[in-house]
Amino acid sequence: MTTLYTTSFKGIGQITTRELRFYFGNRLSNIRTSRVRDYDLVQFNWRGDPLPLRQLGTVEDIFYWLADIPLSGDRDDLNALDEMPELNSALNLHKRFNGLPKRRTKYRVIVQAAMQPWQSYRRSQMQNALERAIRRRFPKWRLVPDNANLEFWLQQTGAHIRLGLRLTDHTTRHRTYKSANRPGSLRPTIARALALLTHPEDQDIFLDPMCGAGTIAIERALAGRYALIRGGDIDEQAVADARENFGDRHKPREIFHWDARRLPLPDWSVDKIATNPPWGRQMGSPSELHALYRSALAEIDRVLRPNGLVAILTSEWNALKTALAPTDLTTIEHLKNIAVLGRRADIFVAQKF
Ligand SMILES: C[S@@+](CC[C@H](N)C(=O)[O-])C[C@H]1O[C@@H](n2cnc3c(N)ncnc32)[C@H](O)[C@@H]1O
């Protein structure tokens, strides 16, 4: 049994837990969650080979758990950082995730801790203590400030520290398909959370009517089988960017230059929708924004089939609630306070009744 944990953006951890249960339910046990700064941590015990976890779409990173250290506040806490009985297994798994480093192993230690008055040492001393512990074991490794091939993370919550080895690299969170990036484009992990909230099914006709660079539509394509992926945007450059990001992959799919207030689609022709409409300064005035939400939601209601699902990410709660009121869409889930591009947004999942 291996103990691992994932990090997801604040608010997304609950979807990561569902994603883990959905894809790997029989291999997991003892799932527990916590929050460190702007991240949700989901820790669990894992049976079998952990490599398939690389397909998780809502996580920023996956870590091998090395130790949980209760803190007293005395300098003895620093000595406890020496104990990492699982370190060799963690290093072996890291090799399987990343291959062997081409040259000498370079490592660094990352500390996320808001120091408390009862701690009689500084954050830099925690970092030094862990660096010393690693150097003692592996004198040939080189300590570097960045571009390390091994990262040890030390994260404090209250009177407790979690120590882990990062197994994934930046391609997990940023993906490799995003060649065309746009300001306001969603992080892929949040886009995947939206796609998963529509409960993907093999026969889905999926739509993002305001698709920007296409992140949500591509993440839906990556999340499982589907019949057709459709996206569109009013901005021609966005349409070009979405096409570039799709490339030759994920067929059948259609990307249109259109206005989401007048979709060229028949009634009841879509099974699932996920989108993040403009918010804040992305639109001219508040009244324009309200008008856009009203018309776009009326169209979503029209093209969605009965019982179909729509997931919407926005921080324009009032505009959305007012726009939903006259439709047949009923909110069935409301996830609050997702950390998105430095703002707080909510996800609303609605079903057409
Ligand atoms: C917040 S961005 C979406 C970002 C997208 N999820 C991504 O990851 O790139 C909102 C998008 O809505 C588009 N938009 C605004 N008004 C629209 C309309 N009437 N019809 C279609 N798209 C519209 C904007 O051009 C913009 O690309």
Among protein residues, the one whose CA lies closest to atom 7 of ligand 1: 185
Q: Which atom of ligand 1 is nearest to the CA of 238?
A: 27
- Let me know: does 209 contact 275? Beta carbons within 8 Å: yes
Q: What is the pTM (predicted TM-score) of this model? A: 0.94
Burial tier of 123 (Cβ tally within 10 Å: 0-12, 13-18, 19+): middle
Distance CA 77, CA 352 (A): 55
Q: Which atom of ligand 1 is nearest to the CA of 241?
A: 9
- Predicted confidence (pLDDT) at residue 99 exceeds the cutoff of 90: no
Of the candidates 300, 292, 312, the residue with the CA atom closest to the CA atom of residue 270? 300
Pocket-testing residue among 233, 245, 262, 316, ligand 1, by greatest number of atoms within 8 A of Cβ:
233
Distance CA 178, CA 11 (A): 23
Going from the Cα of 210 to the center of ligand 1, the distance in angstroms, rounded, reads 4
- Let me know: does 71 contact 160? Beta carbons within 8 Å: yes
Q: Which atom of ligand 1 is nearest to the CA of 260?
A: 20
Calculated CA dihedral for residues 36, 41, 45, 51, nearest 10 degrees: -130
Ligand 1 pocket list (CB less than 6 A):
182, 184-186, 191, 210, 212-213, 215-216, 233-235, 238, 259-261, 276-278, 282, 292
Per-residue model confidence as pLDDT tens digits over 166-194: 999 887 777 888 777 788 889 999 999 99
Per-residue model confidence as pLDDT tens digits over 244-294: 999 999 999 999 999 999 999 999 999 999 999 998 766 678 899 999 999
Dihedral class, residue 164 (left if φ above 0, else alpha if ψ from -120 to 50, else beta): beta
Domains by residue range for the chain, with CATH: 2-172 (3.30.2130.30), 176-352 (3.40.50.150)
Going from the Cα of 290 to the center of ligand 1, the distance in angstroms, rounded, reads 15
User: Residue 172: what pLDDT?
Assistant: 76
Going from the Cα of 214 to the center of ligand 1, the distance in angstroms, rounded, reads 9
E strand or H helix that includes residue 332: strand 329-340
Cα angle 42-47-51, degrees, rounded to a multiple of 5: 75
Calculated CA dihedral for residues 173, 175, 181, 185, nearest 10 degrees: -50
Burial tier of 351 (Cβ tally within 10 Å: 0-12, 13-18, 19+): middle
